Amino acid sequence: MANKIDLNNDYPNITESDKLYERALKVQKPVTQTLAKGPGQFTKGAAPKYLVKGKGSHVWDVDGNEYIDLNSAIGPISLGYAYPAVDEAIRQQLNDGITFSLMHPLEVELSELVQQVVPNAEAVKISKTGADVCSAAIRVARAFTGRDKVFCCGYHGWHDWYIGITSRNSGVPEAIQDLTYTFEYNDIESVKAALDETVAALILEPFIFEAPKPGYLQELAEVCKANGTLLIFDEMWTGFRVAVGGAQEYFNVKADLAVFSKACANGMPIALLTGRADVMEMFNSEVFSYTTFGGEALSLAACIATINELRDKKVPQYLDEHGALLKDGYNSLAIELGVDKYTRCVGFNCRSMVTFTPDAGNGLEVKTFMQQEMIKRGVLWAGFHNMCYSHTTEDIDYILAAYRDVLPLLKAAIESGNIKDQLKGEVLEAVFRKVSNYNIKPKSIA
C-alpha cells in the first residue's frame, strides 16, 4: 500500500521506481537529465527515483507514495505544482499553438514586463536554459570588452568556459580551461589584487547560502567598473525569489548583465538575460546567440503569468516569512534536542540548507540517514528548504514534527559510531567539485 504523509509510515515501497531504473540503465547514459535529481542524490534502495504527479507542494512517485516536496524541482517551482493561474495561461496558449514560423507577440510582452521588475533590464534576451544565458553573457562580455578571461564564483552550468574548472572537465580543451579563474565569495581584496586589463567579466551568484558582507556587492560593481570588466549576476536562485527583481532589487545594486531561469516560469523551460543596452546591442550584429525554441509560446505565457503572480501576491515576502518558520524552527529543535553540535540550518529564508558539522562524522552518511528517515515520514528531502508559494503553514508544522521525530534518531546513530550500518540504502554521492578552489591569478598572470 502506498504511503501518505504520516509520521508512522514504514519505508516506502519503491518497486516500480526500481523497475523503471533498471530499464533506464539499459537505454540511457546518463539516466538523469539533472544531476541533482538523479539516484546519486537520493539514496538507492530507500528513496524513490521517479515522480509522476505534483499538486501544490505535494508530489507522488511512480509507486503512488505521497510526499511534501522541499526541493521544488531544484528551483523552478516558485508558486507550486499545477498552479491554476499558470496552468490556465499555458492551456489558453496551447489552443493557439506552441512554436511558430515568425516571432510571437508574447516575446515583446514578456520583455516589457521583465523591464518593469528587473533593475538592470535596459534590454532583455530570451532563451531556454540557465547555461544558455550564462554562456551568452560571457560571450557578449568578451566581445564588448575585447578581453578573454573570466572570474567566477558559484555554479554556472555545463558549458566549456565554466565546467572546465571542475573535476568533470573531460572534453574541455586546456586552452579553454586556462581562461577561467575562481575567486572566494566575500573576499573583495583578492579580486582587487587580481583584476587586470585581460579580465572581460566577473560572474557570481549574488549569494548561495552565505550572506554578502555589508557593501560587498556594491564594491564589486565599483572595482569592475573601474577596471572595465563587466559584472554579471547569475540569478538562477536569487531571481524572482529573494525579491521579484532578484538580488539587484534586494541589495540595491546593479550588475552590467544578469541571468535568470528557474523561478520565473513555475516549471516551464525559459531563461532570461538582462542588461545594459550598449552591451546587449552587440547581439544585433557581432555576437551570435540564437535558438529555435527561444520563442516557444507556452513558456512565454507561463513566464508572464508567473511573474505577475509573484508580484501581485507578494510571493517573495511569503517565501521569506514561511522559510523563516522552517529554518528557525529547525535550529530551535536542534538546540532543544541536544543535536546543535552536529547540525544547523543556514542560508536565506527563501532557500536554506541543513548542514552537518565535522563532529557528526561522515557528512554523506549522516545526510543519507536523515534523508531516509524524512522520506519514510513523507517528506522528499535532499538537505534543502527550497520554498514555494504553495508551502503552507500546515506543511511547515508537519515537516518540523518530522524533524522532531528524526533528530533524536540522528543523534543516537551518530553517537553509536556506526551510522552506516543503519542505512537502508546506498550512501549519497558527492557532486563534482572545483579542481582548485579560489585559484584567482591574473594581474597578468600573477
Is 323 a residue whose pLDDT tops 70? yes
Q: Is 434 helix (H, G, I), strand (E, B) or coil?
A: strand
* In contact, 188 and 219? CB cutoff 8 Å: yes
Instruction: Please indicate, yes or no, whether residues 32 and 132 belong to a single structural domain of this protein.
Output: no
* Cβ density class 285-304: b for 16+ within 10 Å, e for less: eebebeeeebbbbbbbbbbb
Mean pLDDT of 203-221: 97
Nearest alpha-carbon partner for 303 in 70, 103, 37, 117: 117
Dihedral, CA of residue 217, residue 218, residue 224 and residue 227, to nearest 10? -140
* In contact, 362 and 428? CB cutoff 8 Å: no
Residue 257 binned pLDDT confidence (cut-offs 50, 70, 90) = very high
Is 142 a residue whose pLDDT tops 80? yes
Q: What is the pLDDT of residue 226?
A: 98
Mean pLDDT of 247-270: 98
Whole domain around residue 319: which residue ranges?
15-69+315-422
- Residue 407: give its domain's CATH number: 3.90.1150.10
Amino acid residing at 156: H
Instruction: Please indicate, yes or no, whether residues 56 and 93 belong to a single structural domain of this protein.
Output: no
User: What single-letter DSSP state applies at residue 34?
Assistant: S
Mean pLDDT of 96-101: 98
Domains in the chain: how many in total?
2
Look at residue 433 and tell me if it is in a domain.
no
Cβ contacts of residue 248 below 8 Å, gap of 6+? 118, 119, 120, 206, 233, 235, 254, 255, 258
Residue 1 binned pLDDT confidence (cut-offs 50, 70, 90) = confident
Mean pLDDT of 151-168: 93
Instruction: Please indicate, yes or no, whether residues 53 and 124 belong to a single structural domain of this protein.
Output: no
Is 435 a residue whose pLDDT tops 60? no
DSSP run (H or E) holding 199: strand 199-204
The model's pLDDT over 386-427, given as tens digits with 9 standing for 90+, comes to 999 999 999 999 999 999 999 999 999 999 999 999 999 999
Instruction: Please indicate, yes or no, whether residues 372 and 271 belong to a single structural domain of this protein.
Output: no
Instruction: Please indicate, yes or no, whether residues 114 and 185 belong to a single structural domain of this protein.
Output: yes
Q: What is the pLDDT of residue 167?
A: 87
Instruction: Please indicate, yes or no, whether residues 347 and 202 belong to a single structural domain of this protein.
Output: no
Instruction: Please indicate, yes or no, whether residues 115 and 158 belong to a single structural domain of this protein.
Output: yes
DSSP run (H or E) holding 393: helix 393-416
Q: What is the pLDDT of residue 440?
A: 60
Neighbours of 433 (CB within 10 A): 10
- Comparing 435 with 135, the larger pLDDT belongs to 135
Look at residue 350 and tell me if it is in a domain.
yes
* Candidate from 55-59, 149-153, 300-304, 439-443 with smallest mean pLDDT: 439-443
- Look at residues 291, 313, 335 and tell me which one is the last residue of a structural domain: 313
Look at residue 1 and tell me if it is in a domain.
no
Is 344 a residue whose pLDDT tops 90? yes
The model's pLDDT over 21-43, given as tens digits with 9 standing for 90+, comes to 999 999 999 999 998 999 999 99
The model's pLDDT over 121-133, given as tens digits with 9 standing for 90+, comes to 999 999 999 999 9
Q: Is 248 helix (H, G, I), strand (E, B) or coil?
A: helix
* In contact, 45 and 425? CB cutoff 8 Å: yes
* In contact, 384 and 71? CB cutoff 8 Å: yes
Is 105 a residue whose pLDDT tops 60? yes
Contacts of range 154-157, beta carbons closer than 8 Å, 24 or more positions apart: 154/185, 154/203, 154/204, 154/205, 154/208, 154/234, 155/205, 156/130, 156/131, 156/203, 156/234, 157/129, 157/130, 157/131
Instruction: Please indicate, yes or no, whether residues 103 and 242 belong to a single structural domain of this protein.
Output: yes
Q: How far is Cα 198 from Cα 332, in angstroms, rounded to an integer?
A: 49
Instruction: Please indicate, yes or no, whether residues 59 and 204 belong to a single structural domain of this protein.
Output: no
Look at residue 19 and tell me if it is in a domain.
yes
How high is the mean pLDDT of the chain? 95
Look at residue 165 and tell me if it is in a domain.
yes
Alpha-carbon Rg for the chain in angstroms: 22
Strands of the sheet containing 343-348, edge to edge, are: 343-348, 351-356, 384-386
* Candidate from 122-131, 177-186, 376-385, 425-434 with smallest mean pLDDT: 425-434
Look at residue 79 and tell me if it is in a domain.
no
Is 210 a residue whose pLDDT tops 60? yes
Mean pLDDT of 298-310: 98
All three cell numbers of 438: 579560489
* In contact, 145 and 200? CB cutoff 8 Å: yes
Instruction: Please indicate, yes or no, whether residues 148 and 209 belong to a single structural domain of this protein.
Output: yes
Look at residue 266 and tell me if it is in a domain.
yes
DSSP run (H or E) holding 15: helix 15-27
All three cell numbers of 93: 496558449
pTM of the predicted model as reported, rounded to 2 decimal places: 0.95
Q: What is the pLDDT of residue 160?
A: 94
* In contact, 278 and 317? CB cutoff 8 Å: no
* In contact, 176 and 228? CB cutoff 8 Å: no
Instruction: Please indicate, yes or no, whether residues 107 and 225 belong to a single structural domain of this protein.
Output: yes
The model's pLDDT over 276-292, given as tens digits with 9 standing for 90+, comes to 999 999 999 999 999 99
Q: What is the pLDDT of residue 138?
A: 98
Length of the chain: 446
Look at residue 411 and tell me if it is in a domain.
yes
- Look at residues 285, 313, 341 and tell me which one is the last residue of a structural domain: 313
Residue 441 binned pLDDT confidence (cut-offs 50, 70, 90) = low
- Residue 169: give its domain's CATH number: 3.40.640.10
Cβ contacts of residue 375 below 8 Å, gap of 6+? 11, 12, 46, 47, 48, 67, 381
Instruction: Please indicate, yes or no, whether residues 189 and 50 belong to a single structural domain of this protein.
Output: no
All three cell numbers of 308: 505577475
